[in-house]
Amino acid sequence: MPKQDPKDRTSGFLKKNLETLPHKKRLEYLNQKLRGIIQHAYKHSIAFKNKMDAVRLKPKDIQTIKDLEKIPITKKADLVELQKKNPPFGGFEGIPISELKRIYVSPGPICEPGEMEYNELGWAQGMYAGGFRPGDIVINTFSYHMVPFALHMVDNSLHRNGCIVIPTGVGNTEQQVNILKTFQATGFCGTPSFLLNIAEKAEEIGFDLKKDLNLQVGFVAAEMLPESLRSKLEEKFGMVIRQTYGTADIGCLGYECLGKSGMHIPDDKIIEIVDPETGKQLGPGKTGEIVATSFNKIYPMIRFGTGDLSIVTETPCPCGRTSPRLIKILGRVDQVTKVRGLFVHPGQVEEVASRYPQIEKYQVVVTRKEHKDEMTFRIELKEEPPPPEKLKDEIERTIRDVIKIRGDVEFIPRGTLLEGARKIDDQRSWE
Ligand SMILES: [Zn+2]
């Protein structure tokens, strides 16, 4: 089979009118969608009605995104509990179960409804923004069994983009390589680590990844994508790889465009970044928990707490899409420590350390002295001689840049820190 003509993968939009809405218009659009889903969910989802009744709210009390703060956050653990009491969906479903096409079962166990007509926009937007185009032949290597991602979300979204799906599922690496070659498939959907397995298997067989295969675009999810792995894979195959973020409960919550400057929030979701302790919204540039609301009438998730931490930016993106972007996923809420009113996450600590190759081991210790929090970076260096004062100053500056609060650096002798010690040791006592 001959190689396909190269498509223009660099420009255009899946839903131009939505994707290029000016800021104020976008807010109006989202507020209007929000009022609609609140009305629908209150009427049709028992679980949502209970949630509103518990805090004495009526649908009319929720007019704007700011009003969402009044509604309690539903965590994954709450969802599991409620589903146990009231299977399969805990009363979160917005239509009678008899009208569904499928019931999916994810680890937890936690169930998700599969509607007759899949309408979610987010994943499809992500594919388009990442360069997928009509006529692409795509292997979908996510798992097709039990869980909704491959069959429901990815397969339908590829179809929406006019792509032809080969539902290969997970595993069978050698067969996947042969399928890629035989059909000259242009797209890959799966985890980055599985794409690496495919690359290694193809090389082992003796294929030239660029000449014998024809992969041009990759849509990856479900795993962190280190930049080093991305560039390695892009280089090996001569392809473009973009990542997406979301959950089985609520769908896509972010997708990268070719600009690779964070993950755009899809137009069928509202994302709030909140203080995990108070549930109050934080503005752009502040680290907090991702709390999401979907407009899905079949399974209206209103204020679903993902447990993931991120920062939102509203700075313009070169791609022309105007939706805000999640800068990146910083880690899990249950790993954060609050120091002087700001959240400090192990990922931020790692970020500081990664800028100094001289650092062998490190630990952040948080203490309290005269009712004030103190943060100390205890560092073991690779070289033993006394470290220059300059290095201490430099690292302290980086701490201020990355974590936004002041921290002291203390160099300690090699071997002081135990293997497997916590990255952040909170030694404060609150008596
Ligand atoms: Zn963009």
- Residue 19 CA, ligand 1 centroid: distance in Å: 10
If you measure from the C-alpha of residue 126 to the centroid of ligand 1, how many angstroms do you get, rounded to a whole number?
10
Q: Phi/psi class of residue 243: alpha, beta or left (left: φ > 0; alpha: ψ in -120 to 50)?
A: beta
Distance 18 CA to ligand 1 centre (A): 13
Token digits of residue 300: 């209206």
Query: Within the chain, which residues score under 70 in pLDDT?
Result: 1-5, 430-431
Q: Tokens 């999916």 appear where?
A: 104
CA of 325 to the centre of ligand 1 (A): 8
pLDDT at 330: 82
Instruction: Please provide the DSSP assignment of 355-414 as one string.
Output: T-TTEEEEEEEEEEETTEEEEEEEEEESS-SPPPHHHHHHHHHHHHHHHSS--EEEE--T
Specify the fold of 1-330: Rossmann fold (3.40.50)
Give the distance (Å) from ligand 1 centre to CA of residue 262: 8
Q: How far is the CA of 130 from the centre of ligand 1 (A)?
A: 10
Please give the backbone phi and psi of residue 166, each rounded to the nearest 5 degrees, phi first: -105, 110
Is residue 42 within 8 Å of residue 49, measured between CB atoms?
A: yes
CA 348, 354, 359 angle in degrees (round to 5)?
115
What residues flank ion ligand 1 with Cβ within 5 A? 257, 259, 317, 319, 321
Would residue 95 be called left, alpha or beta, if left means φ above 0 and alpha means ψ between -120 and 50 degrees? beta
Going from the C-alpha of 180 to that of each of 70, 77, 126, 146, 209, the distances in angstroms are 50, 40, 22, 25, 10
Domain boundaries, the chain: 1-330, 337-426
**How far is the centre of ligand 1, averaged over its atoms, from the C-alpha of 197 (Å)?**
29
**DSSP state for residue 154 in the 8-state scheme:** I
Ligand 1 centroid from CA 285, angstroms: 17
pLDDT score at 5: 58
- Give 317 Cα–ligand 1 centroid separation in angstroms: 5
The pLDDT of residue 4 is 59
Tell me how far the alpha carbon of residue 267 lies from the centroid of ligand 1, in angstroms. 13
Pick the CATH number of 337-426 from 3.40.50.300, 3.30.70.260, 3.30.300.30, 3.30.450.40: 3.30.300.30
**DSSP code string of 273-325:** EE-TTT--B--TT--EEEEEEE--SSS---SEEEEEEE-EE-S--TTS--S-E
Distance in Å, CA 305 to ligand 1 centroid: 25
Residue-level pLDDT at 2: 52
Ligand 1 mean position, distance from CA 273 (Å): 19
Distance (Å) from CA 319 to ligand 1 centroid:
4
Q: CA nearest 158: which of 127, 117, 120?
A: 127
3-class secondary structure per residue, 226-276: CHHHHHHHHHHHCCEEEEEEEECCCEEEEEECCCCCCEECCCCEEEEEECC
Distance 254 CA to ligand 1 centre (A): 11
Q: What is the DSSP letter of 72?
A: P
* Other residues' Cβ atoms within 10 Å of the Cβ of residue 244: 28
Q: Supply the pLDDT for residue 186.
A: 97
Total residue count of the chain as it appears in this document: 431
Phi-psi region of 206 (alpha: psi -120 to 50; beta: other; left: phi over 0): left
The Å distance, Cα 374 to ligand 1 centre, comes to 39
Asked if residue 293 lies in contact with residue 303, where contact means CB atoms within 8 angstroms, the answer is: yes
Residue 177 is predicted with a pLDDT of 98
**What is the residue type of 429?**
S
- The SS3 assignment for 350 reads helix
CA of 301 to the centre of ligand 1 (A): 26
Span from the CA of 257 to the centroid of ligand 1 (angstroms):
5
Residues 6+ apart with CB under 8 A from 235: none
- pTM (2 decimals)? 0.85
Q: How far is the CA of 324 from the centre of ligand 1 (A)?
A: 9
Q: Are strands 304-310 and 331-332 parallel, antiparallel or unpaired?
A: antiparallel
Residue whose token pair is 């100390």: 376
Give the Å distance between the CA of 26 and the centre of ligand 1. Answer: 16
Cβ neighbours for 212, distance < 8 A, ≥ 6 positions apart: 181, 202
Distance set, CA 57 to CA 67, 79, 91 (Å) = 11, 20, 18
